[in-house]
Structure 1
Amino acid sequence: MFVFFAAILSSAAAADICCSPDQWQADVGLVMGRVSNGKTSFIEGMMHTSYDAVNKIVAYDQELSVDGFQLKQRIVSDYKNNVMYKVRDGVCNRTKIDNWVPSCIPGNATKLSANSRYGLGGNSVNVKAYNIQYGGYDVSIAVTSDTCVPVTEVITGTLDPVFAGDYTVEMMQALTFANIKGGIANRDVFFVPAQCESQNVQMPVGKRSLFYHQ
Structure 2
Amino acid sequence: MHFNKVSLNKNKMDQLYSVSILLYVVCSLPYCLSEICCTPDVWKADMFLDYGLVFIDNKRNAPNTAYSYINGSVKLTYDYENRRSYLKLQGTEVSPLLPVPGMPYDTTIINDYKKGFQYNIGPDGSCQKSTIENMTKQCIPENAELVGNGSFVMDWNKVQNYKYITSTDIKATVDATISRNFPTASCNPIHVVYFVGSIESGSGTMINLDVLNVVPYNIDPSVFNIPPQCRKAKPMVSSKQNLMLDHLLRMNILT
Answer whether TM exceeds 0.5 for this pair: yes
Q: 1:100 aligns to what?
A: 135
Listed one character per residue, the Cα deviations across residues 88-133 of structure 1 (whole Å, up to 9, x for unaligned) are 02111111111122111121222222x2123x4x498321111221
Listed one character per residue, the Cα deviations across residues 146-187 of structure 1 (whole Å, up to 9, x for unaligned) are 131110100010589xxxxxxxx7210100011111224321
> What is the one-letter code of the residue matched to 2:47?
V
Give the CA RMSD over aligned residues.
2.6
Q: Does residue 149 of structure 1 match 2:188? A: yes
Count of residue pairs brought into register by the alignment:
199
**Is the 8 Å Cα contact of residues 7 and 103 (structure 1) preserved in structure 2?**
no
**Is the 8 Å Cα contact of residues 77 and 219 (structure 2) preserved in structure 1?**
no
Q: Does residue 34 of structure 1 match 2:53? A: yes
**Is the 8 Å Cα contact of residues 28 and 133 (structure 2) preserved in structure 1?**
no
Displacement over 3 Å in runs of 4+: 6-12, 122-125
**Is the 8 Å Cα contact of residues 10 and 105 (structure 1) preserved in structure 2?**
no
CA distance in 2, matches of 1:79, 1:39: 34
CA distance in 2, matches of 1:156, 1:185: 30
CA distance in 2, matches of 1:25, 1:7: 16
Alignment of 1:135-214 (within 5 A): 135-146=170-181, 147-158=186-197, 170-206=204-240, 207-209=243-245, 210-211=248-249
Q: 2:162 aligns to what?
A: 130
Alignment of 1:85-96 (within 5 A): 85-88=119-122, 89-96=124-131
Q: Which runs of 5+ in 1 are unaligned?
A: 161-168
CA 1:208–1:188 in structure 2 vs 1: closer, same or farther (change >3 Å)?
A: farther
CA distance in 2, matches of 1:30, 1:132: 20
> What is the one-letter code of the residue matched to 1:131?
K
Q: Which runs of 5+ in 2 are unaligned?
A: 1-22, 56-63, 95-101, 251-255
SS of 2:249's equivalent in the other structure is: coil
> What is the one-letter code of the residue matched to 1:111?
L
Q: Does residue 49 of structure 1 match 2:76? A: yes
Q: Report sequence identity in percent.
A: 26
